[in-house]
Amino acid sequence: MKTSNNAPWFEITSPFETEFGKLMLLEPPTAKLSELRARLLDQRYEKPFVVDDGQLRYLYFSVRLMQSAMRLAAPDELALRYTQKMMAFLLFVPRPERIVLIGLGGGSLLKFCHRHLPTAAFTAVEIDPDVIAFGEAFLLPLPGPKLQIIEADGADYVAEAAPGVDVLLIDAFDEHGFAPAMNNRAFLESAWDKLSAKGVLVVNLAGEREGYAGLVGEIMHVFDDQVLIIPVPDDGNHVLLAFRERHFEPRWRWLHNHARELRARFGLDFPSFVQKMERSAKLGLARQMAGGRGV
């Protein structure tokens, strides 16, 4: 076990058969390697940790829950497909002035927005100081006039935030799944209230559908069914977009044309995003996922 230069973690060889390379752990110098390995292998290790295989660097919230990935050769790119699809908000809010992210993770969305939307004020809210402590491992930019990283409960932050948020990104999970503090109507009503007139709520839905059917139903209720879904088959996720604009109506032909422009600018497959949204809208996927709730 060794300490990383100028960083608050220790590196050990991965003890996992399926994860090669090294692990970065937030542990004191007196920690015993044998005990750490045992806690990792029998899934008693409770802190987030990083796996580095030489090409990719992953943030795990638990042995079973991988949250973020970063390509070492391209640290500002979005390595996971669900994060790419969360950027679909640009189809509807092309020049956001204020973006709030609940759930920092490895900072993939933060870095992408900071690089490609330099005029937007970006605030990332993360409840776990251990996640924030891995910021250097994921090459996060330093905070500045347009960038804040705040240690706080996401629900509390939204409740106290000033209105006028153009984009509210929710990628909030703990070792058990979606953050309970944001899986309720009170939080969603607060989120709706803090969005700008044409603001967008973007939520990463992961895990079994039964686990978030109630959340989808509540979002549909609060946002008056103004909801679109983008399936992420490879990840098993779904990305949900909810619109504060009461009479929101997607202009599909215009969106298909606009998507090609955004692909050229940002390098993401916006045409595919629009295709998936249009198909899911025609199939009524959001209502199916809600199991009839939200009516």
In eight-state DSSP terms, residue 202 is E
**What's the token pair of residue 12?**
């050990």
Other CB atoms within 10 Å distance of the CB of residue 255? 20
Q: How far apart are CA 84 and CA 269, in angstroms?
A: 8
Element (H, E) at 212: helix 209-222
Which residue in 42, 52, 171, 224 is the catalytic one? 171
Host H or E run for residue 3: strand 2-3
Q: Does the annotation mark 224 as catalytic?
A: no
Look at residue 217 and give its three-state secondary structure: helix
Q: How many residues does the chain have?
A: 295
Helix (H) or strand (E) holding 125: strand 121-126
| Cα–Cα separations (whole angstroms), residue 81 to 175, 192, 226 | 21, 26, 23
Residue 207 to residue 180: CA distance in whole angstroms: 14
Radius of gyration of the chain from Cα atoms? 19
List active site positions.
171
